[in-house]
Amino acid sequence: MVVNQGPIPRDPRGVHTSPEEVSQRIAEILDEPADTLAEEADQLHRAHAVLNHALNAE
């Protein structure tokens, strides 16, 4: 009996994020208003995480 374990990190058979999806998600994050440096730093951190995830998923 095979149990579905969910996605496996760096599994070449896994679902990949398209460049358009990455660009859209980063644009959404960077379009959010940031009134303080802390909020801007958080935005940049989240945008970096999206890009890092996309690059390391393959």
- What pLDDT is recorded for position 3? 62
- What pLDDT is recorded for position 54? 87
Whether 58 shows a pLDDT value over 80: the answer reads no
Q: What's the token pair of residue 17?
A: 């994020």
- In percent, the amount of the chain with pLDDT more than 70 equals 71
Whether 11 shows a pLDDT value over 80: the answer reads no
- pTM score: 0.70
HEC string of the chain equals: CCCCCCCCCCCCCCCCCCHHHHHHHHHHHHHCCCCCHHHHHHHHHHHHHHHHHHHHCC
Whether 1 shows a pLDDT value over 60: the answer reads no
- What pLDDT is recorded for position 10? 67
